[in-house]
């Protein structure tokens, strides 16, 4: 059964929380299937204080290296297609990496996201779709991600532009385990309130196999004031990834969208 009603995200928070409890989402380990083609763009953060202000109080913005590049604070744009027990569609997540002040462990923090499906997260409980249509196509010859009139990434695999990109040829095939495994194990959402992270279980092999690429076309208008103008890295996952998620407890405030 999947929720397909458009009004659930408009209900008062206490009713949403009752539905959340009634469905058992807060106590169940839920499957979350990320389809092949999950695309990542990596931009260096130029205004770290702006990002730090959106993190839970027990986290501090961290430098990260995806492969073997110099570690730096990064704003990732992750565009993917997904299926879950209750929802299916696309998401574009704005993600960074932070360290837990006590444990020193690395975590992904989803600062905000756009989706064409009803979503559930620790802050909104149920969130209405923020976009009417999003699409992702990943073929052997090309792949692209699109939010019509807003966001667009295109790459023709094996094209002359891609073959001539020194950056792609210089990237080693070994991905940093801190990025592919440790950051995925417990994930936070952007909020100035304390929260319990979502716990994830997954195959380390699935999260470690990526393909770097050189985008031929990029249109990305989101959060330009806090990051570099062009990505220093782009890659995608050629295979599906299946996560099992135990959602964390909700904080007491709605997620603040980055300004």
Domains of the chain with bracketed CATH: 8-246 (2.40.400)
Question: Is the Cα dihedral 23, 27, 29, 31 positive or negative?
Answer: positive
The answer to whether residues 98 and 188 touch, using CB atoms and an 8 Å cutoff, is yes
Q: What is the pLDDT of residue 195?
A: 83
Task: Tell me the C-alpha distance between 137 and 210, whole Å.
Answer: 16
Buried b / exposed e over 190-212, threshold 16 CB at 10 Å, is bbebebebbebebeeeebeebeb
Task: Tell me the C-alpha distance between 181 and 107, whole Å.
Answer: 10
User: With 70 as the cut, is the pLDDT of residue 155 above it?
Assistant: yes
Task: Tell me the C-alpha distance between 190 and 66, whole Å.
Answer: 21
Residues 6+ apart with CB under 8 A from 229: none
Q: Where are the beta strands (DSSP E) in the chain?
A: 29-34, 39-44, 59-61, 74-84, 88-100, 106-115, 135-138, 142-147, 151-156, 186-189, 198-201, 211-212, 217-219, 233-236, 241-246
User: With 50 as the cut, is the pLDDT of residue 91 above it?
Assistant: yes
Find how far residue 13's CA is from the centre of its chain.
24
Residue 254 — pLDDT band, cuts 50, 70, 90?
A: very low
Q: Rounded to 5 degrees, what angle do the CA atoms 89, 37, 228 make?
A: 95
Q: Is 67 left (phi over 0), alpha (psi -120 to 50) or beta?
A: alpha
% of the chain exceeding 70 in pLDDT = 78
Residue 158 — pLDDT band, cuts 50, 70, 90?
A: low
Residue 64's φ and ψ, nearest 5 degrees, are: -145, 145
Q: What is the pLDDT of residue 241?
A: 97
């Amino acid at each position: 059964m999947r929720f397909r009603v458009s009004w659930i995200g408009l209900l008062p928070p206490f009713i949403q929380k009752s539905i959340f409890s009634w469905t058992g989402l807060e106590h169940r380990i839920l499957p979350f299937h990320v389809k092949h083609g999950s695309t990542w763009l990596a931009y260096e953060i130029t205004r770290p204080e702006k990002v730090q202000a959106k993190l839970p109080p027990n986290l501090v913005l961290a430098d990260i290296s995806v492969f073997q590049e110099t570690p730096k604070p990064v704003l990732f744009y992750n565009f993917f297609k997904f299926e879950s027990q209750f929802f299916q569609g696309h998401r574009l997540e704005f993600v960074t990496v932070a360290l837990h002040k006590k444990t020193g462990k690395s975590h992904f923090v989803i600062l905000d996201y756009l989706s064409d499906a009803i979503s559930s997260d620790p802050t909104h409980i149920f969130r209405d779709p923020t976009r009417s249509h999003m699409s992702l196509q990943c073929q052997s010859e090309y792949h692209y991600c699109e939010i019509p009139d807003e966001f667009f990434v295109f790459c023709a695999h094996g094209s002359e532009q891609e073959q001539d990109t020194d950056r792609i040829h210089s990237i080693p095939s070994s991905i940093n385990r801190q990025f592919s495994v440790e950051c995925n194990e417990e994930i936070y959402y952007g909020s100035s309130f304390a929260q319990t992270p979502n716990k994830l279980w997954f195959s380390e092999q699935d999260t470690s196999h990526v393909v770097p690429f050189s985008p031929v076309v990029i249109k990305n208008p989101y959060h330009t004031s806090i990051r570099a103008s062009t990505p220093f890295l782009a890659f995608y996952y050629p295979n599906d990834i299946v996560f099992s998620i135990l959602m964390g407890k909700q904080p007491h405030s709605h997620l603040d969208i980055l300004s």
